[in-house]
Structure 1
Amino acid sequence: MDHTFGSNPIPSGNVSKTEVLTVKPLRSLAPIFPSPPDPSAPPSSQYASIPPTGPFPPGATPFFPFFAMSDPQKPGQQWAYPIPSPVPLNSFKTPVSASGNGDIGTSRRGTSTTRNRVDDDGNSLSDSFENGFERNMETGSEVNEQTRVARRKVRAKSGIPVSTADIAIDEVVNNMIKAFNLVEINTFHQANSNKELVDRVLIVFNLLRRKITQIDEKHVVPGVAKRPDLRAGNICMTKGVRANTVKRIGPVPGVEIGDIFFFRMEMCLAGVHAPSMAGIDYMGVKVAGEDDPLAVSIVSSGGYDDEGDDGDVLIYSGQGGVQRKDKQQSDQQLVRGNLALEKSLHKANEVRVIRGLKDFASPTGKVYVYDGLYKIHESWIDKGKSGCNIFKYKLVRVVGQREAFTLWKSIQQWKDGAVSRPGVILPDLTSGAESLPVCLVNDVDGEKGPAYFTYSPTLKYAKPFPSTKPSVENCNCCTGGCQANSHCPCVQRNEGQIPYTSLGVLLSHNSLIQECGSMCICPVNCRNRISQAGLKMRLEVFKTKNKGWGLRSWDPIRSGSFICEYAGVVISEKGIDSDDNYIFDATRTFEPLETRPTDEPVKFPFPLVISARKEGNVSRFMNHSCSPNVYWQPVIRENQDESYFHVAFFAIKHIPPMQELTFNYGLVSADKAGARGKKCLCGESNCKGVFY
């Protein structure tokens, strides 16, 4: 029996203390503190939880700091809606039913079907633990960050060597938090964040998640299922790397409509949806003298009988009614999240809606889209597919908000050819040179297109650079593709690891990427040839309002994904024309994505300058920004005594569809200080006013 406080009534009689202690603590998700149960009320309104001020059953004690939650400005009075809840997000576990709309948590939802599933990076999924990052497959126990830290201390005292993987991750975490100025965040700023802080938190989470993926691949632990996303999220929580720590009704500062998330933990860290698994998030508020649970956000991910094809109306199914161990169905009850949705119907408060959509790049993955604010207009009881009663809630989107889910629907129609993309000048700017078409669009003015150039998907050399290592050995061992932890020479040149995941997400940052060369026998889809495989997403070149032509994507782009390379013609530094606006000069100074304590940003061994004025690809249309969402990495492909340098672009953070792709053009060196600057129109808060 699960005696987790808040999910079942406190049992009477003798209780095994050992049994209680083995249940995972209410550690991470925000609790709901409704009023004490009224004996005269119907059973559906009885709560299985205790308010922070009591009364407390025998043996129960108040939770600090929730025992005294009065407004310091008004002694003796309770905070009331719409003031944000003083309950920190994820400080305790939100009570959840056996299962529900999006609930996975302690219900062990789909245990039989998820055992062999993998996440977006190819790691085994286990939904049995919400906030742990590993599960011991022999004992079933959770291995979380606190457990790992305690284990290291015990090992250190007993003389047992600490895992090199643990040490590596500790160093990465500490350096990363310092680099992104997240060591000591202002408490008020953390409770009420802005876009800049939310972005920093999520960038650190994703950098850390990918680094853990790479370290785990190198240090395999038998019998342990890896969840780098949960582990990275747990570390971020422990270190205080999070934003919007106060739960609230309505908009979340720094989270914009249309923002995307590829992991539930990201929504948790950003403060947009507190439960890392449950589909309904709610909070207790005091309205008209009584405490009510009100819904603050929901996730509709398509796992239940939701009807969400309408862009402005969502029919949402309630939670509960399923016992996953024996698959028996039962009627849903008007408790917890269902009751919160019902209360929100009568209070007419706004509810944040996140829609979970299929991720085109991952057969098992989802992308979560924040679709803005909705209001619940009606509720009813319906018969589900199992024949049991389920609650239905009709949510209608608040008018006047920017497009999000409806934009995704429009893009899908463009892809399917059901509807033409408005403003198209050319359906394929590449004339078939790329595996995916790149349309040319102008819905701003009458200009018919950019100045003529020849489209070339690759970089052209007059002659290659000399090899960085004499007589480079190419891989002749990987006919099916290079494998991590192998003795393949191409893998060994990358410190024994392949720098990409199978989805083409970059794992190493600020390092020289050594890809397989043309002499290697591995296939074109080898995991170590990501930048050679061409475009993997639908891009469009579009006319901006004030910056000429720009580049954006129809598809969502996950953090670290390869976008394209800078194609053109390699020229000498002396051959740079001051009137050439399509120059990529790798000798410039670029701010690294991930600063290191002592190392300088990695550059090519030899100066590389590319001109794309007469010949190039889509990258020539990427505009400058002082706060970019794209960065570049140096890539080398070597063959015996020849080196071919390439510039590959990757996403700094998740990029929603139709958001302009930009990178920082860098600063000219001191000996070129006479270069003429151009007025910067990026519009970012940190804009320097000029770029070169």
Structure 2
Amino acid sequence: MEGGSSHNFIPPSAGFDKSRVLDVKPLRSLMPVFPGASQAPPFPCMPPFGQTPNGYSPFYPFQPQGSQTSPNLNSPSPMRTPTGPMPAPIRSYRAPAPSGALPHDFPEESNGERGSSMGGAEDDDGYFDAHLGSSSSRKKTTKASSSRKKKKKSGDGDSLTNNGSGVNFVSVMSPFQVEDGNRELVNYVLVNFDALRRRICQIEDAKESKNGIIKRADLKAGNILMTKKVRTNMRRRIGVVPGVEIGDVFYFRMEMCAVGLHAPSMAGIDYMTGKGDAEKDPVALSIVSSGGYDDDTEDSDVLIYSGQGGNNNNKDKQVADQKLERGNLALERSLNHGNEVRVIRGVRDEVNSTTKVYVYDGLYKVHESWTERGKSGCNIFKYKLVRVPGQPGAFAVWQTIRKWKDGFSSRAGLVLQDLTSGTEPIPVSLVNEVDNEKALGSFTYFPKLKYSKSFTLMPPSFGCNCHNACLPGDMNCSCIQKNGGSFPYTGNGILVSRKQLLHECGPTCPCSPNCKNRVSQTGVKLRLEVFKTKDRGWGLRSWDSIRAGSFICEYAGEVIDEVKLKQKGHAGEDDEYIFDTGRNYDSFKWNYEPGLLEEETSNDINEDYNIPYRLIISAKNVGNVSRFINHSCSPNVFWQPVLYEHNNQSSLHIAFFAIRHIPPMTELTYDYGNSSSSEADNDNGPHWKNKCLCGSSKCRGYFG
């Protein structure tokens, strides 16, 4: 639901009167819930009302009737996490919805992964108020869910739980970190959320052919993380959310919920009501505008936002006048109080048209409100929000890029429309807005890796026997067996986990060229541009938003041996375009925590590379866009070794993937690493070290 709209509305039971309109007085008199000192903070986004299904832990204060205790979520855990301060109890001002709703079974934005075909309705405050489907469909769902839970799988990685036999996980994030975050904590939560979501997608993809019920991976991941306290900024606040930056992008509403940007998992208006006599009026905290109502979103600094309510299961059709209650009332009171409201704008993903991207556009103020008659003849509340001046561009950047793509305006500083001369599927432009330099150093653009004839490759391994496409869960597929028994990508081509060595299908495999296990071989799919930086030469960035786990490009160039590596003038100190798997790279964690799914830790999630031979690539004379990716000690891109057959031999390749969601026009960077100790001249470090200018708070000072 966007802006308060409902998804797939199903009438509530006869015992619950939905026709009753709440006026202001009862809304103000809702009894707040204050957790005790020994109780865990409440679940602010998506509490499971009524009976909690198997596999989901009840959490305070939304426990089944008769429960007097809350689960202990405060025991220590071995999971690594950033250090920081801890939260006061979080207050909840929302009344529980009728029992029976299971929020994890309701559709939201699927964003490329499959979702349940069943839907449910939701109150205007963002909580569900109806059970899904008919009684027969509910029974089928319960039965199917129960049968899945009963299945025990070992070794194939396809079970969501091991019935308690796996590694238990409880977050060690302190209460202060849960209540108030920072940039590091926000990134930590988001990386953990998406890692877990990708793993759940992988598991569900493997089970799809066995049953027709697919649960929403994002909602399940959010449920698990919120229960396990892998979350931050849970303290309700007006204005800036610590650690969330203007321009940040989100692919799921649960991501915004987990970092405290927008609490309701579906409602378009988030608001808060104070407890004091002078603070009884609700005030708006944030809004999401993404097409649920007739919003005017063309102006980058002004948003005409439609109120919530008055519609049925068709979210675009009003069937009744909207009421001045809940979120609508909160926006009206924010107009009177003049408080700042966070605005998140939903936009269509240019890479995947079925995907929606949420862009945090910063702080706005409500300047005006009125009612007008909509197309259906019903009265709709309208609110004019104006962006607070002096903030960096966010939604405006998206609008500018759209104009470039549509040809309505030219790219400022454009030097060359396509520096690849048609070699890549999508043109890569060359842009300089810094100085008058109009040309790159001489090199030959080549999109692949070039092995010399003298280089001895590994003999080809036995290819798969899949004749159409490799399917998740098909354990007869030898390519899946090589990848530890799990398909390495989700259904829309997102890498699930960093692997010691990723095996893709190659020319010897009879599966089709569009097999989803050939992601890194299909060329550049993003609208990239090479641009002149202010102090680090040329760099690379994307016009498109890049989703975490997305393939960006391969490191192309000439493969050279270690002897030539030391030859000055070819691959020595003056070659700035060397990639060497033998360098020392800082370790970082990107994969999911097995304990969150009660899985045993396996070697399959080991993130230490296990490469069959050292690979050294020089892109000085021959290369592709990867040669322009600069170094950073806090990168947003990582490299993954990929092995597949090429010219009847097994060849190793280096593929780059996004560590986290990357907003458009953000420079792409990876960690160059440092030379191994055997190549250091003395105790001062590597003999070809360079001064680092990444500006990161974790900057090592040098690289190379």
TM-score category, normalised to shorter length:
0.7 to 0.9
After superposition, where does 1:22-33 map in structure 2 within 5 Å?
Answer: none
Q: Tell me, what secondary structure is at the counterpart of 2:368?
A: strand
Q: 612, 616, 624: which is aligned to 2:623?
A: 616
1:691 counterpart residue number: 703
What is the CA-CA distance between 1:496 and the residue it aligns to? 3.5
The alignment partner of 1:165 has SS state of coil
For 1:229, the equivalent position in structure 2 comes to 218
1:212 Cα deviation from its structure 2 partner: 1.1
Shift of 1:517: 1.2
Equivalent position of 1:672 in the other structure: 679
Q: CA deviation at 1:522?
A: 3.0
* 1:493 CA drift (Å): 2.2
Following superposition, the deviation at residue 362 of structure 1 comes to: 2.8
Cα displacement (A) at 1:474: 2.3
- 1:88 aligned partner, one-letter code: I
Task: Look up the equivalent residue of 1:587 and give its one-letter code.
Answer: G
Contact 1:260 1:369 in 2 (8 A): yes
Q: Map Cα deviations across residues 138-161 of structure 1 (whole Å, 9 max, x no partner).
A: 6538999xx99xx88xx99xxxxx
Equivalent position amino acid for 1:567 in 2: A
1:587 aligns with 2:573: no
Residue 448 of structure 2 aligns to a residue in which SS?
coil
User: Does the CA-based 8 Å contact 1:464-1:642 persist in structure 2?
Assistant: no
* Other-structure match for 1:525: 514
What letter is aligned with 2:623? G
Match among 191, 201, 205 for residue 203 of structure 1: 191
Shift of 1:602: 1.6
Matched, 1:541 2:537: no
Q: Structure 1: how far apart are the matches of 2:201 and 2:372?
A: 44
Match of 1:100 in 2: none
Match of 1:64 in 2: 35
Q: 1:328 to 1:607 in 2, by over 3 A?
A: closer
In the alignment, residue 45 of structure 1 is paired with which amino acid?
Answer: V
Higher relative contact order (CA 8 A, sep 6+): 2
1:369–1:328 distance in 2 versus 1, CA, 3 Å: closer
1:342 aligns to 2:335 (yes or no): no
**TM-score for the superposition, normalised by structure 1:** 0.79
Q: Secondary structure at the match of 1:483?
A: coil
Aligned to 1:194: 182
Are residues 1:165 and 2:159 paired? Answer: yes
Q: CA deviation at 1:563?
A: 0.3
Q: Is the CA contact (8 Å cut-off) linking 1:444 and 1:543 kept in structure 2?
A: yes
Aligned partner of 1:298 among 280, 287, 307 = 287
CA displacement, residues 563-621 of structure 1 (integer Å, 9 cap, x when unaligned): 00000011112211222110000122332443789756123211111000001000011
Match of 1:424 among 414, 422, 433: 414
Partner in structure 2 of residue 102 of structure 1: none
Give the conservation status (yes or no) of the 8 Å contact 1:559–1:655: yes
Matches of 1:204 and 1:662, distance apart in 2: 21
> Does the alignment pair 1:128 with 2:120?
yes
Are 1:125 and 1:226, in contact at CA under 8 Å, matched by a contact in 2?
A: no
Q: Distance in 2 between matches of 1:318 and 1:271?
A: 22
Distance in 2 (CA, whole Å) between partners of 1:63 and 1:255 is 27
- 2:399 corresponding residue in structure 1: 409
| Correspondences of 1:210-289 after superposition (within 5 Å) | 210-220=198-208, 222-285=211-274, 289=278
**Aligned-residue identity in percent:** 51
TM-score scaled by length of structure 2: 0.77
Q: Any conservation in 2 of the 1:424–1:439 contact (CA below 8 Å)?
A: yes
Residue 662 (structure 1) shift = 0.4
State the SS of the aligned residue for 2:372. strand
CA contact (8 A) 1:623 1:662 kept: yes
Give the Cα–Cα distance (whole angstroms) in 1 for the partners of residues 443 and 647 of structure 2: 34
Kept in 2, the 8 Å contact 1:593–1:631? The answer is: no
- Counterpart CA distance in 1 for 2:278 and 2:93 is 25
Letter of the aligned partner of 2:26 in structure 1? Answer: Y
Q: How far has the Cα of 1:513 moved from its partner?
A: 1.3
Report how far residue 118 of structure 1 moved: 5.2
Q: Deviations over 1:408-455 (max 9, x none)?
A: 010011111211110111111111111111111111112223311111
Q: Would you say the 8 A contact 1:587–1:608 is kept in 2?
A: yes
**C-alpha RMSD of the superposition:** 3.9
CA–CA distance in structure 2, aligned partners of residues 583 and 163 of structure 1: 37
Look up the match of 2:310: 321
Distance change (3 Å), C-alpha of 1:679 and 1:141: farther
Pairwise CA distance, 1:673 = 2.2
1:491 partnered with 2:480: yes
Shift of 1:49: 6.4
**Aligned equivalents of 1:328, 1:313: Cα separation in 2:** 24
Q: 1:282 to 1:246 in 2, by over 3 A?
A: same
Among 540, 545, 550, which residue is 2:539 paired with?
A: 550
Please state whether the residue corresponding to 2:331 is helix, strand or coil: helix
8 Å CA contact 1:96–1:336 kept in 2: the answer is no
8 Å contact kept, 1:509–1:593: no
In structure 2, distance between residues paired with 1:169 and 1:287: 46
Residue 636 of structure 1: aligned partner: 643
Deviations 1:31-85 (CA, angstroms, capped at 9, x unpaired): xxxxxxxxxxx974233464447xxxxxxxx65359x9xxxxxxxxxxxxxxxx9
Question: 1:632-685 CA deviation, whole Å, 9 max, x = no partner?
Answer: 111011269621111000000000000010011123222112332111111111
Note closer, same or farther for the CA distance 1:555–1:107 as it changes in structure 2 (3 Å cut): same
Deviation track 1:388-411 (CA, whole Å, cap 9, x = no partner) reads 111000111111111111110100
Distance 1:290 1:648, change over 3 A: closer
Distance 1:142 1:632 in 2: 44
Q: Specify whether residues 547 and 168 from structure 1 end up closer, same or farther in structure 2 by C-alpha distance, changes over 3 A only.
A: farther
1:364 maps to 354
1:30-69 equivalence runs, <5 A: 44-48=23-27, 50-52=29-31, 63-65=34-36
Cross-structure match for 1:515: 504
| Cα distance between partner residues in 1 of 2:670 and 2:163 | 29
Tell me how far 1:456 sits from its aligned partner: 0.6
Alignment-derived partner of residue 138 in structure 2: 140
Q: Which residue of 2 aligns with 1:461?
A: 451
Query: Is the Cα–Cα contact under 8 Å of residues 471 and 641 in structure 1 kept in the other structure?
Result: yes
Look up the equivalent residue of 2:173 and give its one-letter code.
Answer: I
How far apart are residue 386 of structure 1 and its match?
1.3
Gaps of 5+ in 2: 1-12, 40-86, 566-571, 592-600
Distance in structure 2 (CA, Å) of the matches to 1:588 and 1:541:
26
**1:482-504 residue CA offsets vs partner (Å, 9 max, x unmatched):** 22223233333223433112322
d(CA) in 2 for partners of 1:168, 1:466: 44
Q: Is the 8 A contact 1:553 1:659 kept in 2?
A: yes
- Alpha-carbon distance between aligned partners in 2 of 1:291 and 1:417, rounded to the nearest angstrom: 51
* Alignment deviations for residues 91-140 of structure 1 (CA, whole Å, 9 cap, x no partner): 6757899xxxxxxx9799x99xx79x9542234465538899x9899653
| Residues 313-345 of structure 1, C-alpha deviations (whole Å, 9 max, x = no match) | 111000111233998711110000000000000
| Distance in 1 between residues matched to 2:118 and 2:670, nearest whole Å | 37
**Distance in 1 between residues matched to 2:435 and 2:165, nearest whole Å:** 52
Aligned length: 602
| CA distance in structure 2 between the partners assigned to 1:141 and 1:93 by the alignment | 29
